[in-house]
Amino acid sequence: MTPFGSKMRQLRADKNVTQQQQAHYLGVSNAYISALENGARGKPSAVLVDQICVWLGLIWDDAEELKRLAALSHPKPTIDVRKQTPDAVLLANMLAQNIERLDDNDCQILLTALEKRLG
């Protein structure tokens, strides 16, 4: 599941609406909504995210958060480290080769450190 899919599922459940209702409003299939929520599809288009925000009646901050999560929800991200330092190349490779070994706590520790450093 992607961060976007998880958040969209939570927001939809909070509004007590179904995937089918959402799919109908957005003009997409129920299978597509399910795939977005489960991470089987890549990040949605900006237009679709805007439509989801309107449909869910999200206020400014919540809409911006959903858009941010959509941008960070590609299930197969690519990192080009060709012009980076050896440490950056090492970091990218270690993460790629070991991501399945990290639990939620490990991920949260790394995310917190990166967010603190990058602002």
C-alpha to C-alpha distance for 52 and 107, rounded to whole angstroms: 28
Distances (CA, A) of 106 to 36, 96, 109: 25, 14, 5
- Residues 61, 111: one domain? no
8 Å CB contact between 69 and 4? yes
HSE-CB at 60 with a 13 A cutoff on CA atoms is 0
In a domain, 80, yes or no: no
Give yes or no for residue 7 having a pLDDT over 90. yes
Same domain? For 29 and 60 the reply is yes
90 and 35 co-located in one domain: no
Are 28 and 67 contained in the same domain? yes
Q: What digits encode the pLDDT tens for the residues 14-58?
A: 999 999 999 999 999 999 999 999 988 878 899 999 999 999 999
Dump pLDDT digits (tens) for 61-113: 999 999 999 998 888 888 999 999 999 999 999 999 999 999 999 999 999 99
pLDDT of residue 39: 84
pLDDT at 42: 78
Range of 100's domain? 86-118
In this structure, the answer to whether residues 8 and 57 fall within a common structural domain is: yes
